[in-house]
Structure 1
Amino acid sequence: MVIEHLLKWMRTARVAERVAAASALARTFNDRDLSFEDRCAAEAALTLLLDDPSPKVRAAIADALSMSRRAPLQIVSALAADQPDVAAMIIGRSPLLTDADLVERVCSGDPAIQLLVARRPLVSLQVSAAIAEVAEVCACVALVGNSGGKVAAISFRRMIERHGDNADLRDAILKRPDLPSDCRHMLLVRVGEAFKTSPLLLKLVGPQRAERITREACAKASLTLIDGARPDELGALVEHLRLSGELSASFVIRAIAHGKIDFFGAVMIALSGQTESRVRTLLARGNDVAVSALMRAAGLAEGIHRVILTALKIWREVANGKRVAGAQEVSWTMLKEVGGQGAEGELAGLLKSIHIEALRDNARGHALAIAAA
């Protein structure tokens, strides 16, 4: 009887009246006390209203049912497939849409739909993986900025690989507290690539110097990333640096000059095949012969063993409270090991640059402390 009455009424009712009726009818599904018979009748009536020629009527239904867990699934599915302004409320809010439903809509290729999915209150790892793999950059930015979006490490990597040249995405990703350290390094490399090809920089200093400036800046920034990496992330960071070709002997020397002993240990574990406990024991109290054998097994050239051993001894004394020293003192002692300021060669040049950087950093820190006093 209700459906018959509704059919007759729809033929003559104005759009505004149909919108109000549709909204009220849809909201009845949130009423826990609604009887089974009344719920069935309301469901049948809403099914008829899905065929209403006015999108305003269907939008009113979508708005009323968008956050309901009691809504009829077939009606929610139909609304999700409606025109964008109707479907938006369902896709963006409905708890009845499964991960499979959302992934299907992400893969449809419509940027507006992808953006709606990325902005949902909760986004699962499966859905975020689909967004990272196929979505436009606007959806990726929205996902990363969504506090309710769960993002796996591999999804961060895919977004960086696909859209890492987009500044908005880089900024959003860097603000994520759960961003793995190797992904931070990937972003750093992308920034470096953009920097060294900057027309302004190339015009000011030329391509060769731009390459050198960028390389040194990335190396310094990578050291900062090591400080921010959790102990359980160091192995992944080492592997990332190795696969990207950036785990060079010069970077290892720079790291140990700055006291990154845990990172150096992770490098030795990855490259030597020795166990973690064995490497930690050797770095903590192993003699020069044993540590040199470890570095040889890791593939480090004999020519750099001496300076690394020198630095390691100093950092051991610092750790044991027997000495106060920093990168400035350690790099100077390493430089003296190869002949001091007058020494020539690639290793000496590297150690000089590390020492000069440490001097500048200390002077800058001292000046800032004076200014703040």
Structure 2
Amino acid sequence: MVVSHFLKWIHTAKVSERAAAASALARAYVDSDLPFEDRCAAEAALTLLLDDASSKVRLAIADALSMSHHAPPQIVSALASDQPEVAALVLARSPLLTDGDLIDRVAGGQKATQRVIADRPRVSMSVAAAIAEIGEPEACVTLLANSGADIASISFRRMAERHGHLPMVREALIADVRLPADCRHLLLVKVGETLKGSPLVLALMGAARAERVTRDACIKASVTLIEGTHAEEHTALVEHLRLRGDLTASFVIRTIAHGKVDFFGSALVALSQQSEQRVRALLAGGHDIALQALFLSAGLAAATHAIILRALKVWREVANGKRLAGVQEVSWLMLKELGGQSAEGDLAGLVKSIHLDTLRENARGHALAIAAA
């Protein structure tokens, strides 16, 4: 169809006819090797069709142009700002939209638009950062489900901070293998805060007990979290805990009691400001006097040194294949350093609680194994 005749015809054509003709013209523009004058005329006609009263016409153009590298950029830009049904096709597919274009539309705040952009085949780190920073929860969930999205650690953290209290976002974050360890800990804290403020929990326990129970549960969960954390993430997790005020002496003692020697070393590096090489060497084979000096420089009270040294020696023997032992035996030996079951004081209470928790866990595991046999 000659473009000049087409422009006269559209004024009397039905909507379905205009949509079909618009689609054909758009596909001819991107798929055919038109002469220069015909291309200019086709581009002018497509631009005119952007003002068509029917969204079906604009939708037909969007469908034809949405995946082309050769589509007229001004038409793509206009379609991307059209009503959601039309814009979605271009926002989801068009390779002509820059990161700046996409970020501007994320900032527009429409849920449907944000979700479409978050689900593009490839989402750059800057666009993902915009969604993490200002996106609605639904857009963040879509982004996390997108394997083609390049998400920076700080963007994971912002999603956890902004929406971690929402179950759908929290579950999507936890399910993502890319999630940094410090973000996983932040989500643990979010769960604890939610439980602590639950009307049911407050009614059953009271505010003071709910605070204590959730705090203890978060500490235990944090120790368990270390098991699934790669060694290269330990430094970031330690810094996160330190900034939150959670890297306490009691937490450090729990980590060594549970055999998290590598993490214990990362904590000592952060707290003592000594080199990682020196700390690792001392933990692997340092004498007690040198280790006690390290503990002091890390701010660990002298009263804690004996039980830490006892645990460290056992875990060294286990690592060297000279001994078989677990948390139950190690925590018992730590408690013996303090005087056994009759020992009193906060430190003894902490070690007792570690030992009793381990006894319960081991007994539960044994019972389940018997039931499964």
Aligned to 2:316: 316
Aligned to 1:356: 356
Shift of 1:28: 2.1
CA distance in 2, matches of 1:208, 1:321: 45
CA distance in 1, matches of 2:221, 2:260: 13
Aligned to 2:200: 200
For 2:11, what is the secondary structure of its paired residue? helix
Letter in 1 for 2:153: A
CA distance in 2, matches of 1:146, 1:298: 42
Shift of 1:349: 0.5
CA distance in 1, matches of 2:95, 2:230: 35
For 1:59, what is the secondary structure of its paired residue? helix
For 1:289, what is the secondary structure of its paired residue? helix
What pairs up with 1:166-181 in 2 under 5 angstroms?
A: 166-181=166-181
What pairs up with 1:1-373 in 2 under 5 angstroms?
A: 2-31=2-31, 33-373=33-373
Contact map agreement 1:2 1:41 (CA 8 A) in 2: no
Distance verdict in 2 for CA 1:107–1:163, change over 3 Å: same
Contact map agreement 1:188 1:221 (CA 8 A) in 2: yes
Identity over the aligned pairs, expressed in percent? Answer: 66
For 2:100, what is the secondary structure of its paired residue? helix
CA distance in 2, matches of 1:30, 1:314: 72
TM-score (norm 1): 0.97
Instruction: Give CA-to-partner distance per residue, 1:122-156, whole Å, 9 cap, x none.
Output: 11110011111112222112111222222111011
Contact map agreement 1:3 1:44 (CA 8 A) in 2: no
Contact map agreement 1:30 1:68 (CA 8 A) in 2: yes
Shift of 1:2: 2.8
CA distance in 1, matches of 2:212, 2:49: 67
Listed as ranges, the gaps of 5+ residues in structure 1 are: none
CA distance in 2, matches of 1:248, 1:28: 68
Listed as ranges, the gaps of 5+ residues in structure 2 are: none
Shift of 1:36: 4.3
For 1:12, what is the secondary structure of its paired residue? coil
**How many residue pairs are counted as aligned between the two chains?**
373
Letter in 2 for 1:131: I
Letter in 1 for 2:134: V
Contact map agreement 1:102 1:117 (CA 8 A) in 2: yes
Shift of 1:191: 0.4
Shift of 1:7: 1.7
Shift of 1:67: 1.5
After the TM superposition, list the runs of 4 or more consecutive aligned residues in structure 1 that deviate by more than 6 angstroms: none
Letter in 1 for 2:49: L
CA distance in 1, matches of 2:316, 2:237: 24
TM-score (norm 2): 0.97
CA distance in 2, matches of 1:97, 1:106: 13
